[in-house]
Structure 1
Amino acid sequence: MIAYDEAYIKSLQKKARNYSFVCNLNIFLIIIWIIQVLQNNMITFNPQLQFNTFDYQLLEQNSIKEPEWCFSFAFNKDSTILAVGCQSYIKLFEFTNERVSLNQILMNTDFVRSIYFMKKSQNLISGGEDSSILVWQKNQDHQWFIYQKLLGHSKPIKHIIMNQNEDLIISCSSDKTIKFWVSLV
C-alpha cells in the first residue's frame, strides 16, 4: 500500500491555492475533494489486489465433441448437471467422479439460444429461435418435461435470467423488447 505523508498533502494544498486563482471553481473543488479523501485515508493503493491472475488448464478427458452447433449452456446449483443448447436439443450432461456423461436429450421446437438453471427448484428454463420460453421440470422418474410454455415475444429469444428470489424471469429478444415474467405461485 502507498501511504500519503503530510509533505505530499501540503504540496497538493499549496498547488490547489495557486490554481484557485487561475483555474475555474470546478477544478479547484475537485482538487480540494481529493485532498480531503487523501487526508481521511479513504484512498489506498494495493498493486497486489489489482493484478490477480487466474491459471486454467484444459481437461482433455472431459472435452465433449458435438456434431451440432452449441449456443448456450448452464450448470445446475451444485454443478452436477450441465445443460447444453445444441441446435434444437438440450443435452443434459452429468458430472460424477470427474467424468462427464450424457444423461438425457430434450427436444426443443427450434434452436436453443439461452438456458438458465433455477437454483431453488432445480427447474430449467430455455429460450430459442421459436420466440418461446420453456420451463422444464423433472418428474419422479428423473425425466424432464415441459412444465410451462411462455409466449410473448415475436422474434427469437436471445437471453434469459432470473432475479435472486427466482420469482421473476427476464427475457430479451430480437424483437427489441425486454419482458418480465412474474411467478403466480
Structure 2
Amino acid sequence: MQTVSESMIRKEYQIKVNECIENMQQAIENSFNNIDTKLDELLNNEFNSINIIASQQQQSQLPKINSNILFKFQDDNFPKQICQEVTSLMLINTHNQVQKQEQQYQELTKETHTTQKNQIKQNDCQINTQTIQQSSTLQTTQSNVKPFTYQLVKENSIKQDQWCNAIAVNKDCSILIAGCESQIKVFEVIQGILKQVQILNEHGRDVYTLNFMKRSDHFISGSQDKSIIIWARDQNNLWICQQYLNGHTNGIYCLQLNNDENIIISGGWDNKIKFWQKQNTWLCTQTIRDHKNAVLGLTLNEQLNRLISCGSDNFILVIDHIDFFNKWVVKQKIKVEQCGFRLCFIDNYTFTFYPDSRQYIIVFEMNNINNQYTKTKEIPVKGGTDHCLFASQYIESKCMLVNKNGLNVSLISMKQNGEVMNQESIEFGTSHIFGYMTDDGQYLITWDDKSKEIQIRQYHEK
C-alpha cells in the first residue's frame, strides 16, 4: 500500500489552514467595509459575516462559530478580533486533525517500515536514558539539600521611604533595581556596598514588575501606567529607555521572559495576556482574552512550551504553545475556590498555587491519563491577608520554593519523593512585602512598609 509521508501531511494541512484563514479574513474585511454608524445595520453586517464564515466552515469541516461570539468584542476593531477568534478555533481543530493523521500514518507504516520502527525504538531508548540521568541528577541534588536559614545583612540595608513594589537583580548580582512608586532606582555594588547610581523617571505611575535579561544588558519594567519599557545602556553606561510597548489598557502586574529572551509575556488589570516577539523591534503577536478579570500571576515551565496564569476571576489557565502553528492555545481552565496572586512551576508536570489568605499552598500535578492538572496535596503555611505582586520562585539548585503568604515569606524544600519541608518562615509583621530571590538562591531581597528598608538576607547552611 502506498503511504503519504508525514511531511506531506503537515504541508497539506498547513496549506489548507492558510487558505481558510485568508478566505475568512477576506470575507470578514469585505463584510465590514460597508458598516455605518447605525447599530441595526452594524448587527446585520456582523451576522452576514458569520454566515459567510459558517458556510466556509461547512466546506472545510471546521468547527461552527456561535453568533453570540460577537458580543465578546468591546472595541471598534471587529474584523481583526473575529479573525483571531476563528483562527484560534481553527488551530485547535486542525492540530487535532494533524494528530489523527499522524496516528493513521504510523498505523499504515507499522508493518512496512520495520527499519524506521527499530530506529524509533533506539531513539526512545536514548531519550529514556537521558530522562533517567536527569532524574538521577535531580535526586542527587535533592538528597544533598541541607537545613538552611537566611540571615539579614544589616550593613547592606537601604532606607527607602517610598513604596517599593518591585525588585530585580542582574545575573552576576552586581546591579539591583527597585520600582519605588513611579521611579526606578538603580543600585550598584561598589566595594561590597550597594550604592544608588541612577534614578529613572520614564513611567508615569507605580512600577509593578521588573525583570533583568540574562543574555544581554537589558531589563524590562511594567507599570500601572499601562506601558512596558525596554531599558538598555548608552555609551556613557547610563540606563535609557530603548522602546515602549503599548497595548494594554490598564496596569501591568506580571511579566515573563523566555530563555532566548525574544518573547515577553505580560498580564494586567485589563484581563489580557499579551505575547510580544522581538523582530526588528518588539511587536505584540498574540493576545489571550480568556480571563474575565485581572491577570495577577504568570509562570513558564522548564521546556518553555507551557504557560500558566492566575487571575482574580478564580481561574487558572493552562496555555500550551503549538510549534506547528507558532501559537499559544488555552488547553485547560481550572476553577479554584479562592483567587490567588502567585503560582510557580516546580517541574514540567507540577506547579504550586497560593490562594489568597489561606494557610496552605496547593500542589497541582498532571494526570498521565488525560494530561490534565489536578490538585494532589496542600502544603501548610502561615496565612493571613495577602496582596498581589512578589511572584513565587522555584530555585532549582536548592530545590526550594519561595512563596510570600500573608505576613511571611516561606522557604520550602521540595523533595524527589514528594515530601515537602518548610525550612524557614520569615515574618515581617506586615502583609505589604515585596521582593526577589536571586537565581542561585544566595540572596533574598525584600522591602516592607514596616521597616521601610530594602533588606538583603544571605543563605547559610545550618
Q: Given the two structures, how large is their TM-score scaled by the length of structure 2?
A: 0.29
Q: CA deviation at 1:118?
A: 0.8
2:269, 2:146 → 1: CA distance?
Answer: 37
Match of 2:219 among 124, 138, 141: 124
- Is structure 2 residue 254 aligned with structure 1 residue 162? no
| Correspondence for 1:63 | 157
* 1:99-178 mapped onto 2 (5 Å cutoff): 99-107=193-201, 108-178=203-273
Q: Secondary structure at the match of 2:155?
A: helix
User: Would the aligned equivalents of 1:136 and 1:146 in 2 still touch at CA under 8 Å?
Assistant: yes
Amino acid at match of 1:175: D
Deviation for aligned residue 1:51: 7.1
Match of 2:147 in 1: 53
**Counterparts of 2:241 and 2:182 in 1: how far apart (Å)?**
14
Identity %: 40
The aligned residue for residue 170 of structure 2 is 76
- Secondary structure of residue in 2 paired with 1:164: coil
Distance (Å, rounded) in 2 between the aligned partners of 1:101 and 1:76: 15
Select which of 76, 81, 86 maps to 2:180: 86
Taking a change above 3 Å as real, the CA distance of residues 176 and 101 of structure 1, as seen in their structure-2 partners, is same
Kindly indicate whether the alpha-carbon contact (under 8 Å) linking 1:116 and 1:124 is maintained by their aligned counterparts in 2.
Answer: yes
Structure 1 unmatched ranges of 5 or more:
1-44
**Cα distance change of structure 1 residues 51 and 122 upon mapping to structure 2, 3 Å threshold:** closer
Residue identity opposite 2:175 in structure 1: I
Q: Equivalent residue for 2:274?
A: 179
Instruction: Report the secondary structure of 1:61's partner residue.
Output: helix
Structure 1 partner of 2:436? none
> What amino acid does structure 2 have at the position aligned with 1:67?
D
The structure with the largest alpha-carbon Rg is 1
* Cα deviation, residue 53, structure 1: 2.4
Q: Give the aligned residue type for 2:176.
A: L
Runs of 4+ residues over 4 Å off in structure 1:
none
Shift of 1:177: 1.1
Counterpart CA distance in 2 for 1:50 and 1:138 is 40
What TM-score do you get using the length of structure 1 for normalisation?
A: 0.71
Could you tell me which residue of structure 2 aligns to residue 30 of structure 1?
A: none
Hey, what's the Cα distance between the residues in 2 that align with 1:156 and 1:50?
42
User: Alpha carbons of 1:76 and 1:51: their partners in 2 closer, same or farther (altered >3 Å)?
Assistant: closer
How far, CA to CA, are the matches of 1:91 and 1:128 in structure 2?
14
> What is the CA–CA distance in structure 2 between the aligned matches of 1:146 and 1:97, rounded to whole Å?
28
Superposed CA RMSD: 2.0
- Partner of 1:110, secondary structure, is coil
DSSP 3-state at the match of 2:148: coil
The one-letter code sitting in structure 2 at the alignment partner of 1:86 is C
8 Å CA contact 1:77–1:122 kept in 2: the answer is no
Shift of 1:52: 4.0
Q: Distance in 1 between matches of 2:147 and 2:240?
A: 42
Aligned position for 2:190: 96
Q: Summarize deviations over 1:9-67 as a string: whole Å, max 9, x none.
A: xxxxxxxxxxxxxxxxxxxxxxxxxxxxxxxxxxxx99x83974221110111011112
Count of residues paired in the alignment: 141
- Deviation of residue 167 (structure 1)? 0.3
Once the two structures are TM-superposed, the CA of residue 172 in structure 1 deviates from its matched residue by 0.6
Q: Distance in 2 between matches of 1:171 and 1:79?
A: 25
